[in-house]
Amino acid sequence: MLPELTPEEVDHALDGVAEEALAEAGIRQPPIDAIVLAETLGMTVALDNRQRGRARCARLGGRADAATRPVILLRDDPRPERRHWAVAHEIGEHLAWRVFARLGVDPREAPPTGREGVANQLAGRLLLPRAWFCADGRAGDWDLVELKQRYATASHELIARRMLEIPPPVIVTLFDQGRITWRCGNQPGRAGPPSPDERACWQVAHAENRPDRRQRGAVSIQAWPIHEPSWRREILRTTVPAWEETA
């Protein structure tokens, strides 16, 4: 956001605003219904299938002397996770000023992409609050299927990406139609290509449509198939003892 801010400071501010918003809405456990959250925070959600994007925020006033009420105009989507993400993102836009205030940053001094980045980060934290997500992930050994059942309004991919924001050192890999489309770790440096064990674990999920797990020393690999009739996606989570061992 700004060079003088540490990642820890930014994370603390984002988590604090997300927790504050959920507390204000009286939401005490997952899954988080983003539409209910928006309306409880004083925002109206209305369908608008004419727009090109998934959602946008507008202000519609009543009487001339009445305060305008923020309205999230939402395009319908067959995937509920996309609708919840779109609404959560607009809530993030609406609450971004709170993050800047906690950081003591004038929004006008932030980079042009700063507000959008804050909205994206807040959206993930609203649907997957850190404290709850950490506790549930560790209790269930970060099983993606279990986490998806508990956090039903978040997509499998969002849950997997959110794992990168929580210790320990991990690498998350997405395979689509048999090829890697995204691979990233939560430590500095490059993750490197998948190991033979990762490939073998992925192959089971891909070919047999079932989760698989491998352990070699301190390295743990989990693979989950997210298969649909016309699309095959697999997600891998690799826990490593030290980042340099994956290079």
Is this model's pTM higher than 0.85 or not? Answer: yes
Contact (Cβ atoms closer than 8 angstroms) between residue 127 and residue 151: yes
- What is the average pLDDT score of the chain? 89
pLDDT digits over 14-62, tens only?
999 999 999 999 999 999 999 999 999 998 887 777 777 676 666 655 5
Contact (Cβ atoms closer than 8 angstroms) between residue 172 and residue 237: yes
Question: Minimal CA–CA distance to 200: which of 184, 217, 222, 185?
Answer: 222
**3-state SS, residue 87:** helix
pLDDT digits over 127-169, tens only?
999 999 999 999 999 999 999 999 999 999 999 999 999 988 9
pLDDT over threshold 60, residue 215: yes
Long-range contacts of 130-134 (CB under 8 A, 24+ apart): 130/15, 130/18, 130/19, 130/165, 130/166, 131/15, 131/19, 132/29, 132/30, 133/162, 133/166, 134/166
